[in-house]
Chain A
């Protein structure tokens, strides 16, 4: 749950700041801090008896000895590993520091924005982007952790139906090698199709692909100040969606029907991870853009009204 912890922290901190640090805000801060510390102490009390005990729990919770990643996961490091074997080249502590820095840097803008302007919508979007940053850059990530990102995306499903549906389709696709191992191909295909049909009929997602619906209006206005010809964002995103879906379907068919060549036995799972990773990077950029530019438009609207 560390994936979700930072947005909670920033949101609550932002609320405290909003109320003013010299009055109610400070009281709220103290109350929150006491609650958090108390619950932590209650959970960890049995393990505080010995220093070695505490360290062992930490070692088990954060298995840094297992390496940067295990098996195939739709992660930056795994995808990067295809081209440059960083897992073998770099020493362990450098890998740790690198992943920590990248994770932290990628989620910093969104968190700062949330602290300065805490809002319900911003909170949910920051949950998504923080979890996604953790998933993409963190140490020893399992494929199932994508669910920690899918959950906040479901919370924004009603506001950004098109992108959320697309994300949820990709997240199920990224689990394909795992599902095949469990012989769950038919149920997963059927439920993915059912979910897609449900989204299409209840949210009419294909009618909500305009710039405004995608919450990208303010962003494209800003870009148009420098590049007046930047009017094709909406269509570009639709084409990207089409390409993404076609690639996913093709890869699924290939994984099921064809046998991988002898020299590259993991070809299909690596391809699945790679394609998913590219999609996730795109989503990371998209959600961060929404967060950064959304607050601006919110402020502008307040000024106008």
Chain B
């Protein structure tokens, strides 16, 4: 009986949380799944039945393989398990095949791969220092962090309803972050390199990794005031890092290099023919830009400044994925977005390099250059990573709203340690999660998404408020008002709008409203995070790296 007790994990809260969320995921198996389900079934079929040389050329289905090779190999391994469930799903010609066994297999594969995510959360919890050990369990930062990560609403609905494999990918990212916290830099770099070859969207945060590893790992010591000691550059470390990255890339892209298919692979991975915004506008800066453009064009038409014949009909809001021209404001090209993103990350380069730094401005340094000139160890790296992810979400080309998770999950690690970060996190996460609502538009999922969202939001706000109750309140009146406004917005979009006459004339109005409202919140959170990185209080004495 004693063995049974140990096996049942009496009193082990982490296992209980992990098991609980796994059981919840099992309950979500029969829910709505999007076209991503067919995408992954198609990739299973492609990798199973075709030779490697055909993988990036196959186009029977419209959902062509557009992830890096490691993910293709992952699908290949999965397909060998899939054949025991239902052989038919591995036929490339069986478009939109979704028997009950296929569904069961795919859903269970996502749930199973989340094991890596749970392990990564476990490792991250080890990096968080519990402030006062005497508190009760539900007030410990480790407990709150575990719930915020494992029971994350966005991850649950994107992975287990909408259907994607983000769980284990974020597990890899969190694992690499945890390794960097534990000063195991080589492993961190290795995990990140592997992650890049699973899904190239993580390129957004690669600059943070690059600069941090270069500054804090390759330069082994600092001068007493915290700046870099140039003669402590370690060639061995640089070369070993380079070797790791090179080997991983060789393993991934090598076969395709040998087959002379690299251009084709890259054209699949980076499809710039798609438009600035996705079919549903991600709530970033360009959503606000588009909305402004629309408003100005309407005003211009009304005031007769614009000729109606010059305006392209049904631009942008028609919900199709194409290239569009803006009507009033200058049009945006991919290059523009790249430049904006880079500027956001590396702002004030000119000032930093040219002007001398008076002592009182020592504390005011921008993000990447913060990492370089005044490293604050892994915590500073994490802030920079979050800021990179959020900036690229704000200014990127053809950003999907799911990319907000890339900023939310690392931010969770920051939120349990400082009150300022907690308030930014709560705004970002609430608006980010709300912006995911249009992904699940079917009626049976409506109660599920509303209740799960309420559960997560109420828990995160109350637990973080309790954790930081000794400091000033987390929200001011403006932020509270904004967050409460999400409720009426949801009621309007889901319950009131379908019964009005506007449903026929402007069917995309609720999406537009959701996107613009959330864009305001996310921009505000980005701005606050940026300011907090710039004006972070001087840490004081140096840390020997």
Where the two chains meet, the residues of A that have a C-beta atom closer than 8 Å to any C-beta of B are 186-187, 190-191, 193-194, 197, 200-201, 204, 206-207, 209, 238, 242
Contact = CB atoms under 8 A, between A and B. Distances in A.
11 contacts: A190-B26, A190-B27, A191-B23, A201-B9, A201-B10, A201-B11, A201-B16, A204-B11, A206-B5, A207-B10, A238-B1
A193 B11 contact: no
Contacts of B12: 201
Contacts of B19: 193, 197
Most buried by B among A191, A201, A206, A238: A201
Contacts of A209: 1
Chain A interface main SS type: helix
Interface string B6-42: 0011111100100110010011011000000000000
Nearest to B104: A186
Contacts of A238: 1
Contact of A206 (B8, B13, B26): B8
A187 B8 CA distance: 21
B506 interface: no
Contacts of A197: 8, 16, 19-20, 23
A204 B20 CA distance: 17
Given A201-B10, A201-B11, A201-B16, A187 B27 contact: yes
Most buried by A among B11, B20, B23: B23
A231 B12 CA distance: 32
Given A197-B8, A197-B19, A201-B16, 4 more contacts: A186-B26, A200-B10, A207-B10, A242-B4
Contacts of A201: 9-13, 16
A187 B25 CA distance: 11
A238 B5 CA distance: 12
A14 B16 CA distance: 44
B503 to A, nearest CB: 34
Interface residues of B, number: 17
Contacts of B9: 200-201
A279 to B, nearest CB: 19
Nearest to A199: B8
A191 B27 CA distance: 9
A235 to B, nearest CB: 8
Contacts of A187: 27
Contact of A186 (B1, B4, B10, B29): B29
A190 B30 CA distance: 13
Contacts of B26: 186, 190
A20 B23 CA distance: 55
A98 to B, nearest CB: 41
Contacts of B29: 186
Contact of B23 (A194, A200, A204, A206): A194
B112 to A, nearest CB: 15
A186 B100 CA distance: 13
A170 to B, nearest CB: 18
A140 to B, nearest CB: 34
Contacts of B13: 201
A246 to B, nearest CB: 12
B452 to A, nearest CB: 15
B226 to A, nearest CB: 47
B23 A193 contact: yes
B170 to A, nearest CB: 24
Nearest to B4: A206
Given A197-B16, A201-B13, A201-B16, A190 B8 contact: no
